[in-house]
Structures are given as C-alpha cells and as structure tokens.
Structure 1
C-alpha cells in the first residue's frame, strides 16, 4: 500500500469518527432528535451521548430490525431539528405485507448530487436530457434520477413501472403476462427515445437495458443511434458476466469504440449510492462498490457473528450504517452478500464485490425486473 493511500485511509477514518459523533448527538439530543430514537434511548443499556466516541462504538447498538420501518406513524422518524421541513416518504419492499418506509427531506438530492461528480461529462453531457427506465411510484429512485438530470442541467423523462406487480406475476407463474408488461415498459421507453427529445443519458436496470437493446435491434436501430451516450445502472443482476455481454454484444464495444459509457452502482432507499471502481475488460469486468462515506458505511460481516468484519477477499453479509441528519440506521443487515475488498485511491475505505442475494434468504427472494 502506498504512503498516499494509507494517509487517505487514515484521513477518511478520522472524518468518519467525527461525523459519527455529530450524527449520534443530533439524533439523541432532546431538541434535535427524532421521537423513535429518543424513545429507544430509554431501552438501551448505554448512553449514546456519552459512550459513542467513534464509528466502532456503534457496535454497542443492537442490530437494526426490519420491522421498525414497517408501519406508522412515519413522522416518528422526523428529527425535531428538521420538523419544519417538507417531508417525503419512500417505500421499499411491500410485495407482501406492509412495506418498509423511510422519511427524506434532502438526502436523495445530496446523494445524487455527490454521485453526479463521479460521472464523466464526455458521456453524460451537462444539459443532456435523461430517460428513467426503472421503478416508479413511492420509490426514491424516480425522484432521485429526476434530480440528477436537473442537477446536471437536463430534463428527465420517466416511464410507469410497478415492480410489485412484476413480482406478483412471477410468483403466480404468469410468464406471458410478465412478458407483456415488460414489452409495455420497453414500448414506453422507445416512444420517448424516438420522439425527438434529444435524450443523451439514462438510468435502467440490467434486465431492462438488455430488453431495450434487443427490441431496438429488432426495429433496426440501437441505443447509440437513438443518441444515448451515458448509462447509469444498478441492481444485484449487475454481474461481470452480464456487463461483458452488455458492453461487447449489446453496445458494440467499450466506450471509445461504441460511444456508450455505463457505470454500475449499488444503492437502496437507506444507503444512497455506492459507486463502482472502473469496470474494464482488463480487470475482467469485476465490479467493486464503495459506499458514500461518511454518510453511509458498508461492512462485509460474518454470517453468524455480525459484529465481526471478515478478512479481505472473504465472503460475508452486507451490513449498512446510515449516518445523516435525516436518518440514522446503525447495523442494518442487508439481504445481500459479497466479498470484502480493500480501499481504493478514489474511495479510501473498504468496498464490496460480487454483490448477490444473501444465500440464506435467496430462495425466498424474487429479483423481478432487477
């Protein structure tokens, strides 16, 4: 490890510790904290205001429970220090039972503005219009991509897509209906791309990007001919094998040949966006993600001892900690697993590669459109 990388790692760790202290004090102080955490403080066997001095001290908290995010009143999550702000609510899950909800004020804008700084202007031209080919409804992604387009000076065109209906179709085995619904979504996208709106950039899930490329080919055209130069995508379907196929077969080669640049991301309603190290043929299309520290931290932990981070290259479960003034989530065990990766020059903290559904839950997980 170079001296410069080690210095960056140390600086990032110091920044994370200081940020952790600030966020914990915000959420557990009577005048700024949210009702949920102020009430939960009485149940804890320690005082967060005096006993949390660094990020590692968050291990004092019990693992965050899924069920805490299901049902209302949702305003119990609104910090008193932000109570006068307009509040959004975003949902995740909800195929069966009550969906998980989180409040948001500006986090989604902040996350995607930061992500914007990582996009190369050559392929994501400032002022370029966008297509949002992904889930709509009560999900963060639609508004977030729209903000990203606006932040970069463009206008975002969105389609209608209900992933809960897609998952129900899969569970019922109605594959003909599923295929028709997918065609319906792709038809919406192609209508936008061929309507003279000068769309240059897009978000799409891997399966939908593939379906879009194949349907455009059936119609005698391509993404490049439609004017697309930059694609931002995400999801656990984003594998090295699919990326290789997509770049070499669907796009027609790497960016310098095809004119299309694609960047994978790993994100969700709680975390924001984890950016990828460059994905190239030289590194066999390996995809390694790094969380947006210090606003969120991803750890790869032992499947049974979830407070223990596994060694580099070892497999474990993804554990997320969210650290913003809007939302504090310590130790949320994700429905994903992967391999722990070392810090990187641009992102001098741990990463995760090979992200896939958590093996112990995968049998009951319907990936759907993603």
Structure 2
C-alpha cells in the first residue's frame, strides 16, 4: 500500500472519527482517479453531481444510486482502490466475500487486510462485552467457502485463544432445495448437518457454539443433543436468519436456561457483524448498534424514503464508508424497528430484523442461513 498521512479513514472503529471528516476524506479517496477504484470511476460518469464537492454529510449519501446489484457481475479487480498499490505487497491476503444469494446471484466484495482487521477487532470487542471467555473451544456451525460468516467465526475464536471446530455447510444448496419445495431433500440435508454437530459435541469440549436458528431448532429435536449442549456449552451465538420472540423465549427459559444467548446481525455488504446491545432484558428483542460512521443503518418508509419514527418498523438501508469500499444507499432485504444508536453516533440502531417476502423480482427464501 502506498504511504499516506493520518486519516479519519484509518481511525480504529472503537474510536470513531468526526463523521463529516470521514465522509469528505472518503469522497476524496474513492473519487480521485489516482486512488479510487475503476468501479467508482465508471459510476462517477453517470452521476449528476460531484462527490468531492457535493457530498459532505450523512444526509448527502442519499444522492448516490443504489449500485449494490452491480456487485453480482463486477470484476473484483475493479473494486480495489488504486491507492492500495500492488495487491501482492499487502501484509496479508485479501478475502473475496460473497452474499448468501438469498435474493438472486451472489454479490461479491473484496475485503482488504486493513479494514478486515478493523472490523474483526470491533466484533471481538463487542463479544468481550458479553463475557465470552478466552480459551473456550468454539463450534462454528456457519457456512465457510465464500461466506464471510465462517471466516469471521474462525478468526474470532483465534482472537480468544480458542480451538475452532466446524463442519461442511452449503447454505445455498439448502435454499435451493427449500425454494422448490423438496421437503424430503431438505430434511435429509438438515439431518446431515446435525449428524456432524452430533459427532463433534459427543467427543469435544465445546463451550461456545455459533449456529443459525433453524439448525438450533433441528438440533433440539434430538434430546441427547439438548442434554450435551446443557452439559458443555456456556454461550450460544446465533444469527444468519431471523428468530421470533416465542422461539427465543423457549430456548432461553425452557431448553437452555443456564446458557447465555447472544444474537448477531451481519452483512457482507457492510463488512461487519454486530452482537446485540449488551445488558438488555432477556425477553426484549435484541437491538443492534452498527460501527458508525464506518457502517450505518437507516430505517425508512420505502414509499417516501424518509426515516420512520423511533419504535416503528421500516425497511433497512445500509451505508459502508471505509478506505476499502464505499457502498452507500443499499436498500436491504430486511425490515426492522428503528432505535437511536446507544452511543449517540450517526444513523440508527435496529431491532427485530425480519426479511421481506419479495425483494426486487425474487422471492426471499431464508433456508438454514
């Protein structure tokens, strides 16, 4: 990477910079032909404003079109800002990450080492707030391959000084099977996943389990696995699909009353995952505070584009503003309840994420992830 002066873009996510300073430096970086990516250089030709002059605040990000669908076909090389220099000279290999493919062909982004470290460190610090202990073995029941979730879980376990176990898990196949209503195939695939969980829980000392709600429900259909989890596991970290209030209450109070549950919301398109706000009553819907201003939520009325009042449901819009990637105005497939950010940072916190039934021209199938 080429040398450069200190910048808001390089500030640790746990010490957020002035938001306007971050946005203005991001515009200067991403829209200078010498430092910006070929992707944004081409996009800028179609804009009717000058980002380096006209975009200075969070509100100004709404000037940009939602370009996220173009990431389904964009060349990864075209997403890399030229200011990073020769990729071969980076201190660690970059990660190509893909979305789950819930709403069509997967979208693809390029995570460079500096922003990956910032995002992973921020996530680790949030789990420390939830009392995750160092050295406890983890079982990651999350997809690997091109999915960020599996890489994040493994790297986070390493930060805790823990041994990480995982399994073969292809959520796209499960979604395809469920989407065409092949109930027997879906049941067989879920059984295949639970068998792998069974083998590990029987033989290993697992203390932290990272899992999706549908798979936790499937695990609970085997009574001996419920007993093993209660015997061995201290914390269940769950995410990847939504969980309703009744199911959450059942897990917390009847099936696993002595186990800590930590809900996670994550998105490849904002390069991060966020644990629920700590210290909230167990029966309350988890609230998620993003690492603003690097990743921000807005909760809007999709018909007007305006924020809904706090406490009301709207559709989620995300912004990502880092040196690695600029991705504003992404209308997400989820709706949520709008809350103020717990630290008073820009943008919204969100509770009770739920997918819309249709998104664009595609039906939304959550599957097992």
Q: TM-score with structure 2 length normalisation?
A: 0.86
Structure 1 residue runs without a partner (length 5+) = 1-11
Q: Counterpart of 1:112 in 2: which secondary structure?
A: helix
Residue 230 of structure 1 corresponds to: 235
Q: 1:29 to 1:235 in 2, by over 3 A?
A: same
Deviation of 1:40 after TM superposition, in Å, equals 1.5
Residue 314 of structure 2 corresponds to: 316
Deviation of 1:347 after TM superposition, in Å, equals 6.7
Residue 65 of structure 1 corresponds to: 67
Segments ≥4 residues shifted beyond 6 Å: none
Deviation of 1:121 after TM superposition, in Å, equals 7.4
Question: How big is each residue's C-alpha offset from its partner over 1:12-37, in whole Å with a ceiling of 9 and x where there is no partner?
Answer: 99722222222222211222211111
1: CA distance, partners of 2:347 / 2:75 = 36
Residue 354 of structure 1 corresponds to: 352
Q: Counterpart of 1:214 in 2: which secondary structure?
A: coil
Q: 1:36 to 1:120 in 2, by over 3 A?
A: closer
Question: How big is each residue's C-alpha offset from its partner over 1:65-95, in whole Å with a ceiling of 9 and x where there is no partner?
Answer: 3421112322100111224233321112446
Residue 242 of structure 1 pairs with residue 247 of structure 2: yes
Contact 2:219–2:226 (8 Å) recurs in 1: no
Q: 1:39 to 1:121 in 2, by over 3 A?
A: closer
Residue 207 of structure 2 corresponds to: 200
Structure 2 residue runs without a partner (length 5+) = 1-14
Residue 175 of structure 1 corresponds to: 183
Q: TM-score with structure 1 length normalisation?
A: 0.86
2: CA distance, partners of 1:320 / 1:248 = 33
2: CA distance, partners of 1:347 / 1:247 = 31
Deviation of 1:352 after TM superposition, in Å, equals 1.4
Contact 2:357–2:363 (8 Å) recurs in 1: no
2: CA distance, partners of 1:13 / 1:192 = 40
Q: Counterpart of 1:224 in 2: which secondary structure?
A: helix
Residue 217 of structure 2 corresponds to: 210
2: CA distance, partners of 1:13 / 1:144 = 22
Contact 1:301–1:309 (8 Å) recurs in 2: yes
Residue 267 of structure 1 corresponds to: 266
Contact 1:186–1:208 (8 Å) recurs in 2: yes
Residue 40 of structure 1 corresponds to: 43
Alignment of 1:328-347 (within 5 A): 328-345=326-343
Q: 1:97 to 1:230 in 2, by over 3 A?
A: closer
Question: How big is each residue's C-alpha offset from its partner over 1:213-264, in whole Å with a ceiling of 9 and x where there is no partner?
Answer: 432x245723131x2112221134223222111101220x2xxxx1x21111
Contact 2:357–2:364 (8 Å) recurs in 1: no
